[in-house]
Amino acid sequence: MAEIIESGGGKKQGGKKRPKKHSTHVDMTPMVDLFSLLLTFFMLTTAFSKPKVMEIVLPDKIKDQKDIKAPEVDKDKVLNIIIEDDKAFWYNGMAAPDKETKQLPKLTAANFSKDGIRKVLLLRNKNLFLKIDDFTQEVLKGKIKLPKDSVDKRLKQFKKEDKSGPIVLIKAGDNVKYGNLVDIIDEMAICNIARYAIVNISPEEKQMLATAKALLPPTPAAKKQKLNKRVL
């Protein structure tokens, strides 16, 4: 509240009365209470950032564990991805020596950009990706009117009926980062991969990975470390 303080005037010499001077004093104590109420109101009504949920496709539960046979996988459909040092190394088929050359498959290095491992996945999963993309565009344009639950069921049905897409096996090297694992699972969702799994890396694949990493150009950090060793 504002308070006006008056200072009394006196008489100057000659008998004239001096005018009174007014001074304004503002008391800020009530404003503190108002500020506290506003702060509490905004804190309670503000929408905080919601946690991000990653959808992972899990296999169906098996009721009877007896007489379970491992599914037969066509090696021509298998795409192996090994994540290591912010890179995704990939190869097709199985980690077995070639019958003629007796050599293990060679790994191809890719990054996590749109022109990296995503391009490889889209080329292998082109039919299913286009089918789902066309259906999604028709839903967005209003040509197909379905509730959200029905749309999700239709998308799952597309993935279940797909027979041409790859079977992606994701494997982690010794120097893998958690962020890389999140990135590769994101790529599975972006590219609409119907069948993928995270499995253990084999000794043959570790040998293939070491060979592929040796052929890569040195990173700026490795160059700097090598230069420091020379200086010392």
Q: Is residue 197 part of a domain?
A: yes
Does the pLDDT of residue 133 top 80, yes or no?
Answer: yes
Task: Output the pLDDT for position 184.
Answer: 92
Whole-number Å distance between alpha carbons of 114 and 202: 28
Total count of domains within the chain: 2
**CATH number of the domain that residue 199 is part of:** 3.30.420
Task: Output the pLDDT for position 119.
Answer: 93
Q: Give the pLDDT band (50/70/90) at residue 63.
A: low
Cβ-in-10-Å burial (0-12, 13-18, 19+) of 200 comes to exposed
Q: Is residue 231 part of a domain?
A: no
Task: Output the pLDDT for position 219.
Answer: 63
Whether residues 169 and 211 share a domain: the answer is yes
Looking at per-residue pLDDT, the higher value among 213 and 71 belongs to 213
Whether residues 176 and 100 share a domain: the answer is yes
Whether residues 99 and 6 share a domain: the answer is no
Of the listed ranges 24-28, 69-73, 130-134, 175-179, the one predicted with least confidence? 69-73
Task: Output the pLDDT for position 13.
Answer: 54
Whether residues 109 and 211 share a domain: the answer is yes
Looking at per-residue pLDDT, the higher value among 149 and 21 belongs to 149
Q: Is residue 93 part of a domain?
A: yes
Does the pLDDT of residue 3 top 60, yes or no?
Answer: no
Whether residues 121 and 171 share a domain: the answer is yes
Does the pLDDT of residue 163 top 70, yes or no?
Answer: yes
Whether residues 106 and 181 share a domain: the answer is yes
Q: Is residue 115 part of a domain?
A: yes
Q: Give the pLDDT band (50/70/90) at residue 110.
A: very high
Does residue 7 contact residue 20 with C-beta atoms inside 8 Å? yes
With CA atoms as reference, report the closest residue to 192 among 157, 222, 147, 144: 157
Task: Output the pLDDT for position 97.
Answer: 83
Beta bridge partners of 21: 7
Give the sign of the dihedral formed by CA 105, CA 111, CA 114, CA 118. positive
Q: Give the pLDDT band (50/70/90) at residue 32.
A: confident
Task: Output the pLDDT for position 49.
Answer: 65
Measured CA to CA in angstroms, residue 110 lies from 119, 145, 197, 210, 215 at distances of 10, 39, 19, 15, 13
Task: Output the pLDDT for position 118.
Answer: 93
Whether residues 173 and 117 share a domain: the answer is yes
Whether residues 107 and 190 share a domain: the answer is yes
Question: Mean pLDDT across the stretch 101-125?
Answer: 90
Whether residues 181 and 104 share a domain: the answer is yes
Whether residues 112 and 179 share a domain: the answer is yes
pLDDT tens for residues 168-185?
A: 999 998 888 888 999 999
Task: Output the pLDDT for position 186.
Answer: 92
Whether residues 121 and 16 share a domain: the answer is no
Q: Give the pLDDT band (50/70/90) at residue 30.
A: confident
User: Residue 35's domain spans which residues?
Assistant: 2-45
What is Dmax (Cα atoms) for the chain? 126
Whether residues 95 and 169 share a domain: the answer is yes
Question: Mean pLDDT across the stretch 50-78?
Answer: 66
Q: What is the mean pLDDT of the chain?
A: 80
Q: Is residue 69 part of a domain?
A: no
